[in-house]
Amino acid sequence: MTMVSELGRRAKAASKFLAGVTSAQKDQALVRIAGALTLGANKILQANAQDIEAARANGLTEAMIERLTLNHKRIGQMAAALEELIALPDPVGSVLGGMVRPNGLKISKVRVPMGVIGIIYESRPNVTVDAATLCLKAGSAVILRGGKEAIHSNRALVGIMCDALEEAGFPADCICLIEDTTRQSSQELMRLNGYVDVLIPRRGAGLIQAVVQNATVPVIETGVGNCHVYVDSSADLEMARRIVVNAKAQRPSVCNACETVLVHRDIAEAFLPRLFADLREHGVQLRGCKTTLAVLQQGETLPEGLTAAAEEDYATEFLDYILACRVVDSFGQALLHIDRYSTRHSECIVTGSYANAQRFTAQVDAAAVYVNASTRYTDGGEFGYGAEIGISTQKLHARGPMGLQELTTYKYIVLGDGQTRE
Amino acid sequence: MTMVSELGRRAKAASKFLAGVTSAQKDQALVRIAGALTLGANKILQANAQDIEAARANGLTEAMIERLTLNHKRIGQMAAALEELIALPDPVGSVLGGMVRPNGLKISKVRVPMGVIGIIYESRPNVTVDAATLCLKAGSAVILRGGKEAIHSNRALVGIMCDALEEAGFPADCICLIEDTTRQSSQELMRLNGYVDVLIPRRGAGLIQAVVQNATVPVIETGVGNCHVYVDSSADLEMARRIVVNAKAQRPSVCNACETVLVHRDIAEAFLPRLFADLREHGVQLRGCKTTLAVLQQGETLPEGLTAAAEEDYATEFLDYILACRVVDSFGQALLHIDRYSTRHSECIVTGSYANAQRFTAQVDAAAVYVNASTRYTDGGEFGYGAEIGISTQKLHARGPMGLQELTTYKYIVLGDGQTRE
């Protein structure tokens, strides 16, 4: 038995324990974890310093190092997030439906824990705590496979959480960390059928595709967002400008940020110069179609911050201060563009037309479809779900923000008094 | 572009049409299909005769030929099933939840069609009609990949259904049949990401495992049922006997049939002889553990219909008039046995103990957990869901009987008046 399958076996055993605990017991364990993280801050920061040192030695980018870095403030935020998690209602045990059948059978559909949840994620140590505690609250054991750059931090964080679990009378195996950060260990986790009930890859189109291609356990695809804002001919142009700028520039590195703006040609001349000026102020580069360039061109030369869009720009999740822009001839052409390039995450129309709002929400196939609001709202917190484990872009099981509820499943409990089938 | 990916493209295009039709339009199309199947009965039976002739020439078993065979009665049953399907409520469009956020955003979670559903199934032509019409009612296009032995029947059935669709103003591509029945075509279907939103394999542990191992599209695992009935020491033995015999012998070839009976040792001597006599009358062979053999032995020899159980018998889905039997020392040992061998389909306890009923339903991890009723009830019809596409044995998306609702997904519709995120 390999180390990964041994972890699978242990996590599965721990999941049986978790299936039997009360909400109060889980919350008590979370309280202990919050306290232990605060008390263990120096130990965590020491481990984190090792990771940062190695990251610098290996020439990681500043952005990657920034995501890897912990400090007292961030550890405080982890503990604060735990307080919020504790306050959320326990999804487990709620009755989703039921009936008494004509033969007297009483059938109820009851929410139960998933069992064992696998998470493969980038080198962000805060995800280690977020993911583990969300799974715990949802009643499942978790197997974590974090990025190799964060291994010292992850080991320290998981060590502290497991000690706290044991103090609360829980098996430490409720939170398992795969310490082997080779490619082989994540491949093994993807194929741990019988132990892993669902595997969630977080972040990075490459990682997510590797999981989709290689996993034999059930997977929830998350997080790639090639999101569009379509500015209809009937849009309030002032509102449209604010929405596009917010959707692009408020935080460009996240999956619900806008990557392409589509502009109806009837308002292109009135809208694009104002949009472009505002985007420039926010440091956003525009990559425009021919019509966009023609509208914004000053004499023979393109203004600074504007270049020609290539076909592949429309398919790119920039995650940066770059926005593609295309002028469309019609509402229908906007729908076709979105259908072709969308990753089915978040799509928006800015419109004053009731009919177009109705058509857009009905016909656009995405986890979240917006009328007259920024795509940046696709988020567990903004939806009022509290903490989230990610944004699902597939249609099976969960779509959009995945909170505690989406980390559970259900079973049917059938109570009889001797019924047999004829 | 291969034929399978071309079918994927066409099914995806048809799914856009289906996303926009009303319930009444779908029901009208189903009415036309029901009529066309009845009118086309002779054509269907001619095609079916070709399949049966080929099956006999290829030496298929009588059981396989029986499943392949259509006649006027069975075609009548298909049409009758369609009447029932038409009468079911449309799951699409129901609002699953929603809220107005403090910033005024109106969020609603709305049930929408899945898009394109792939079905890989055995050589049973009735599944062709059942699966296609269920998907249609659920608003999704379907790609069917049936067994090669039924190809003439399937071609005739799909041809008739597609003609009826077109008469109803629907694109024929709502129902696509992969006519190439090589292994390669099903492999391709399993990897048709971007076109297939969910793939459901029906029947056959080998087929299901092949799909789980090879698919890169989301899959719902169905139908393997190694189901147990545990007879507790506090059971009403008369009730227990009826339940075990029903769960085993009422229809042994189905996934919700019982494959192993576990008997508490305190009642083994009182219970086993009565159970064994009744099973024998129903033509069931018993494979017993040592204690079972000791209890039922007559002098030195084993009675007819009783043999010793091997370890692998406990792991076998017999789908036949064979039942494994094990005497357990305790309730806990019964739970351990079930946890080890269960395929998480349907599990039953027969008990008079409130505490044991509670523990069993809480701790047994299965789609349906029964107290004092036959496992044979795990079925869309018996649960009151009407038609079903299969029984899910995984935890993602759907568990247990999958009806119309389980063939859909949801999306969030977010209506704003200019909200941007701070």
| Whether residue A298 sits in one domain with residue A243 | yes
Place of tokens 């940020």: A257
| Whether residue A213 sits in one domain with residue A273 | no
The reply to whether residue A218 touches residue B396, judged by beta carbons under 8 angstroms, is: yes
| Whether residue B159 sits in one domain with residue B244 | no
Q: For residue B259, which of B318, B326, B344, B335 has the smallest C-alpha distance?
A: B318
| Whether residue A240 sits in one domain with residue A143 | no
Q: For residue A95, which of A412, A416, A418 has the smallest C-alpha distance?
A: A412
Q: Mapping DSSP to helix (H, G, I), strand (E, B) and coil, where does residue A29 land?
A: helix
| Whether residue B191 sits in one domain with residue B48 | yes
Task: Report chain B residues whose CB lies below 8 A from the CB of A339.
Answer: 16
Tokens of A165: 């679990």
The reply to whether residue B416 touches residue A366, judged by beta carbons under 8 angstroms, is: no
DSSP labels, A124-142? -HHHHHHHHHHHHHTT-EE
| Per-residue DSSP letter, A381 | T
Which of B357, B378, B397 shows the shortest C-beta gap to A397?
Answer: B397
Q: Mutation test of the interface with chain A: which of B377, B378, B379, B394, choosing the one with the most A Cβ atoms within 10 A? A: B377
Domain with A362 in it:
227-377
A215: closest chain B residue by CA: B216
Interface ipTM: 0.95
Q: Mutation test of the interface with chain B: which of A92, A190, A389, A412, choosing the one with the most B Cβ atoms within 10 A? A: A412
Q: Phi and psi for B2 in degrees, rounded to 5?
A: -75, 170
In sequence order, what are the beta bridge partners of B370?
A414, B348
Residues 245-264 of B with CB under 8 A from A: 245-247, 250
The reply to whether residue A198 touches residue B415, judged by beta carbons under 8 angstroms, is: no
Report the alpha-carbon angle B300-B304-B310, nearest 5.
80
Task: Report chain A residues whose CB lies below 8 A from the CB of B236.
Answer: 418
| Whether residue B193 sits in one domain with residue B171 | yes
The reply to whether residue A413 touches residue B369, judged by beta carbons under 8 angstroms, is: yes
Report the alpha-carbon angle B284-B288-B292, nearest 5.
115
The reply to whether residue A416 touches residue B115, judged by beta carbons under 8 angstroms, is: no
In sequence order, what are the beta bridge partners of B264?
B328
Chain B nearest CA to A274, separation (Å): 17
| Whole-number Å distance between alpha carbons of A135 and A173 | 13
Contacts of A7 (CB under 8 A, 6+ apart): A143, A173, A176, A178
- pLDDT attached to residue B203: 77
| Whether residue A178 sits in one domain with residue A29 | yes
Tokens of B313: 């018998």
Residues 8-27 of A with CB under 8 A from B: 16, 19-20
Chain B nearest CA to A284, separation (Å): 17
Asked whether residue A389 is domain-assigned, the answer is no
Chain A nearest CA to B58, separation (Å): 34
Q: What are the DSSP E strand ranges found in A55-161?
A: 95-100, 106-113, 116-121, 141-145
Q: How many CB pairs under 8 A join A and B?
A: 205
Task: Report chain A residues whose CB lies below 8 A from the CB of B417.
Answer: 239, 372-373
The reply to whether residue B396 touches residue A220, judged by beta carbons under 8 angstroms, is: yes
| Whether residue B297 sits in one domain with residue B168 | no
CB contact A63 to B (< 8 Å): no
Asked whether residue B386 is domain-assigned, the answer is no
Asked whether residue A386 is domain-assigned, the answer is no
Asked whether residue B388 is domain-assigned, the answer is no
Q: Phi and psi for B376 in degrees, rounded to 5?
A: -65, -10
Asked whether residue B384 is domain-assigned, the answer is no
In sequence order, what are the beta bridge partners of A109?
A97, A412
- pLDDT attached to residue A120: 96
Residues 312-341 of A with CB under 8 A from B: 339
pLDDT averages per 10-residue partition of chain A, 422 residues:
93 96 98 97 98 96 91 94 95 96 98 98 92 98 96 98 98 97 95 96 86 94 92 98 98 95 98 98 97 92 95 96 98 97 97 97 97 97 90 95 96 98 93
Task: Report chain B residues whose CB lies below 8 A from the CB of A247.
Answer: 420
| Whether residue A213 sits in one domain with residue A70 | yes
Residues 74-103 of A with CB under 8 A from B: 99, 101
Burial environment of residue B333 by CB neighbours within 10 A (0 to 12, 13 to 18, 19 or more): middle
Task: Report chain A residues whose CB lies below 8 A from the CB of B338.
Answer: none
CB B250 within 8 Å of CB B367: no
| Whether residue B109 sits in one domain with residue B88 | yes
CB contact A138 to B (< 8 Å): no
| Per-residue DSSP letter, A90 | P
Asked whether residue B385 is domain-assigned, the answer is no
Task: Report chain B residues whose CB lies below 8 A from the CB of A258.
Answer: none
Residues 185-214 of A with CB under 8 A from B: 193, 197-198, 212-213
> What CATH number did the domain enclosing B184 receive?
3.40.605.10
Question: How would you label B180-194 residue by residue, b for 16+ Cβ within 10 Å and e otherwise?
Answer: bbeeebbebbbebbe
Task: Report chain B residues whose CB lies below 8 A from the CB of A384.
Answer: 99, 101, 107
SS (H, E, C) chain B: CCHHHHHHHHHHHHHHHHHCCCHHHHHHHHHHHHHHHHHCHHHHHHHHHHHHHHHHHCCCCHHHHHHHCCCHHHHHHHHHHHHHHHHCCCCCCCEEEEEECCCCCEEEEEEEECCEEEEEECCCHHHHHHHHHHHHHCCCEEEEECCHHHHHHHHHHHHHHHHHHHHCCCCHHHEEECCCCCHHHHHHHHCCCCCCCEEEEECCHHHHHHHHHHCCCCECCECCCCEEEEECCCCCHHHHHHHHHHHHHCCCCCCCCEEEEEEEHHHHHHHHHHHHHHHHHCCCEEEECHHHHHHHCECCECCCCEEECCHHHHHCCCCCCEEEEEEECCHHHHHHHHHHHCCCCEEEEECCCHHHHHHHHHHCCCCEEEEEECHHHCCCCCCCCCCCCEEECCCCCCCEEECCHHHEEEEEEEEEEEECCC
Residue-level pLDDT, tens digit, chain B, 422 residues:
789 999 999 999 999 999 999 999 999 999 999 999 999 999 999 999 999 999 999 999 988 899 999 999 999 999 999 999 999 999 999 999 999 999 999 999 999 999 999 999 988 999 999 999 999 999 999 999 999 999 999 999 999 999 999 999 999 999 999 999 999 999 999 999 999 999 999 877 888 889 999 999 999 998 789 999 999 999 999 999 999 999 999 999 899 999 999 999 999 999 999 999 999 999 999 999 999 999 999 888 899 999 999 999 999 999 999 999 999 999 999 999 999 999 999 999 999 999 999 999 999 999 999 999 999 999 999 999 888 999 999 999 999 999 999 999 999 999 999 999 99
Q: For residue B223, which of B343, B304, B337 has the smallest C-alpha distance?
A: B343
Asked whether residue B363 is domain-assigned, the answer is yes
Task: Report chain A residues whose CB lies below 8 A from the CB of B420.
Answer: 242-243, 245-247, 250, 373-374, 376
B411: closest chain A residue by CA: A367
Chain A nearest CA to B36, separation (Å): 31
CB contact B384 to A (< 8 Å): yes
> What CATH number did the domain enclosing B356 receive?
3.40.309.10
- pLDDT attached to residue B236: 98
| Whole-number Å distance between alpha carbons of A373 and A363 | 18
| Whole-number Å distance between alpha carbons of A10 and A245 | 48
Q: pTM here? A: 0.94
| Whether residue A186 sits in one domain with residue A232 | no
- Going by DSSP bridges, is the β-strand pair A141-145/A227-231 parallel, antiparallel, or unpaired? unpaired
Q: How many Å is the maximal CA-CA distance in chain A? A: 87
Asked whether residue A382 is domain-assigned, the answer is no
The reply to whether residue B101 touches residue A394, judged by beta carbons under 8 angstroms, is: no
Chain B nearest CA to A120, separation (Å): 17
Specify the number of domains making up chain A: 2
| Whether residue A271 sits in one domain with residue A190 | no
| Whole-number Å distance between alpha carbons of A213 and B395 | 20
